[in-house]
């Protein structure tokens, strides 16, 4: 059996999965310098990661038996094409919620304590500056109450923050109300047609002056132009980003070099513990496939 990992990052997960696979199963990574469709013709299982699996890629393998996402999000997989070919699609839910929540807290703290300016002050031997803010007593707005959003709310509450939350079923009016009342906003919802551009001009025009925004979900949930305008006008006090509109991103982009922006290289879910849980699910489904047993976490 041949498995192809199609991602352009998160490579430690490949070793974690390989160590759990049954004998006789080979796992390799694709070469991003070549077209993906031409490299998966012998694949029995595809692990998409952040690759786009369109109809052409799904049709390319001669004996494709499973598309197993080593993550939660499946927006890059053509589910219609997979269903048409009769190929099951599974994901790995509930694996990195704590990791993502802790990364969101890291970004919030980095913004609150003006980390980019503090790093520059350290280099300049400037003592006691810049001036940060405390989180206790402030209001955290959480967009998305899945595992990571719920975990962040629990952590933030222990810090003394008040919690507001919006689910996928929350009305647009209530989402805008959250924007107006929160001192810190953290995004944890999936990317769907309904959430694409959710945090746009209308949303950001309602936030408190100086509010902090963190995105650990998907880049396009935030409208980039509206974000930049909110930062340039001082409407937002800072933005913490672990996800972007294009990946890989351009490190020289002026947005990512601003003093009021903190960035991470899409590592919110990258911890030893989260990768172990993901690898258990992925390898577990491969074992089930070999034995002819029902697959877990099937979404198509």
Which residues are the active-site residues? 218, 247, 266
Q: 53, 69 in Cβ contact below 8 A?
A: no
CA-only gyration radius of the chain, Å: 21
* Length of the chain (residues): 300
CA distance 61 to 44: 7
Q: 163, 142 in Cβ contact below 8 A?
A: yes
Torsion angles phi and psi, residue 82, rounded to 5: -65, -45
- What is the H or E stretch that residue 180 is in? helix 172-181
Q: 238, 261 in Cβ contact below 8 A?
A: yes
3-state secondary structure of 171: coil
Q: 298, 120 in Cβ contact below 8 A?
A: no
Residues 6+ apart with CB under 8 A from 175: 143, 166, 198, 203
Torsion angles phi and psi, residue 204, rounded to 5: -70, -25
* Beta bridge pairs of residue 92: none
Nearest to 16 by CA among 6, 5, 24: 5
């Amino acid at each position: 059996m041949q498995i192809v990992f199609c991602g352009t990052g998160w490579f430690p997960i490949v070793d974690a999965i390989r160590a759990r696979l049954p004998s006789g199963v080979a796992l390799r990574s694709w070469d991003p310098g070549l077209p993906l469709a031409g490299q998966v013709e012998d694949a029995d299982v595809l692990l998409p990661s952040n690759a786009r699996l369109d109809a052409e890629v799904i049709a390319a393998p001669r004996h494709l038996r499973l598309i197993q996402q080593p993550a939660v999000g499946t927006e890059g997989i053509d589910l219609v094409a997979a269903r048409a070919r009769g190929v099951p699609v599974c994901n790995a839910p509930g694996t990195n919620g704590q990791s993502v929540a802790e990364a969101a807290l890291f970004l919030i703290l980095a913004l609150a304590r003006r980390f980019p300016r503090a790093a520059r002050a350290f280099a300049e031997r400037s003592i006691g500056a810049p001036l940060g803010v405390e989180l206790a007593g402030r209001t955290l707005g959480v967009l998305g109450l899945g595992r990571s959003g719920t975990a962040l709310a629990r952590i933030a509450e222990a810090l003394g923050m008040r919690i507001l939350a919006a689910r996928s079923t929350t009305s647009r009016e209530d989402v805008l109300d959250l924007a107006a009342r929160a001192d810190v906003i953290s995004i944890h919802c999936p990317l769907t047609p309904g959430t694409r551009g959710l945090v746009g001009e209308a949303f950001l025009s309602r936030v408190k002056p100086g509010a902090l925004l963190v995105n650990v979900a998907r880049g396009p949930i935030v409208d980039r132009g509206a974000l930049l305008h909110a930062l340039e006008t001082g409407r937002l006090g800072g933005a913490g980003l672990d996800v972007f509109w294009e990946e890989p991103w351009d490190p020289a982009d002026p947005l990512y070099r601003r003093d009021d922006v903190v960035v991470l290289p899409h590592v919110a879910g990258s911890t030893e513990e989260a990768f172990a849980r993901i690898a258990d699910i992925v390898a577990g489904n491969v074992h089930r496939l070999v034995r002819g047993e029902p697959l877990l976490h099937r979404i198509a």
